[in-house]
Structure 1
Amino acid sequence: MTDGDDDGPREASLDTIQRELTAFARRARAAAARLHPELPLVSYTLLAHIDDQQGCRATDLAAHYLLDKSTVSRQIGGLERLGLVERRPDPDDHRVQVLHPTEAGSRVLAATQASRHAAYQERLKDWPADDLARFASYLLRYNAAGPGGA
């Protein structure tokens, strides 16, 4: 048996993974639009990252998500117009601006995260704990591989 003998089932699995992750991403975008219509998924993701990091620079966001700086700038501008993000001088280098969620941004995040958590609980309520743990570990493993073709 050679390495190539397993290509058929492996390719079929990879095709299924690609198709299902695409469907998952589409559902995630649609759900995000329902949870906070003024806050697109990209903006929500950036706001959540800023909150998780307890502040970060726009260039750090661009690097982390492999986005063009102009894209991040537009998204941050939208978050600022909504009153969800503010810029503060970096205490170590006053030439640098650090992004932080405002109180309103923190409230939006908390409400959205609670809604998303409830939606996941509902969707996965019939999954055994072992399946949930395995799925979680697979997602961690997939995302730990870093940027890729998806």
Structure 2
Amino acid sequence: MPDRDAALDAIQRELTAFARRARHKAAQMHPDLSLVTYSMLDLVKERGSCRAADLAAHFMLDKSTVSRQVNALEKLGLITREPDPEDQRGQLLRPSEDGLRLLADAAERRRLAFRERFTDWTDDDIARFAGYLTRYGAGD
């Protein structure tokens, strides 16, 4: 069991370092964009549109926290709001043209960074790593 505990410690340490790097990269994309707001914008784009309550449920965040983040995205001109046709009291969030452009630029920079980081990895190594990350993420 000591080897397993050491491996689990290494996983925790590396995931923490990964999260720190991700926060730093988000700040480089836009000085007023946190990793949380970037992640929310990315999810809104992925879904085409969603409600703030959907973001709160997905990210397991308090509605007031999501409200502040959504307001920040709106002030930055990265999302728009429109009435929800299924619930006139609700609003759908959609990425704006500026938001889509920011996400596309960020995706290209990420792709280039990953290509550089994985230069010495074989295609099989990358595929296994992707599989492990997908498996880990599915465990939630």
1:1-150 equivalences in 2 (<5 Å): 7-146=1-140
Output the TM-score relative to the length of structure 2.
Answer: 0.96
- Work out the CA distance in 1 between the residues paired with 2:33 and 2:109: 14
- Superposition RMSD in Å: 0.9
Note if contact 1:36-1:112 (Cα within 8 Å) is conserved in structure 2.
no
- Work out the CA distance in 2 between the residues paired with 1:51 and 1:76: 13
Higher alpha-carbon deviation: 29-38 or 60-69: 29-38
Output the TM-score relative to the length of structure 1.
Answer: 0.90
Identity level (%): 56
How many residues get paired? Answer: 140
Q: Which sections of structure 1, spanning at least 5 residues, go unmatched?
A: 1-6
Larger radius of gyration: 1
Query: Which of the two has greater strand per residue?
Result: 2
Query: SS at the partner of 2:33?
Result: coil
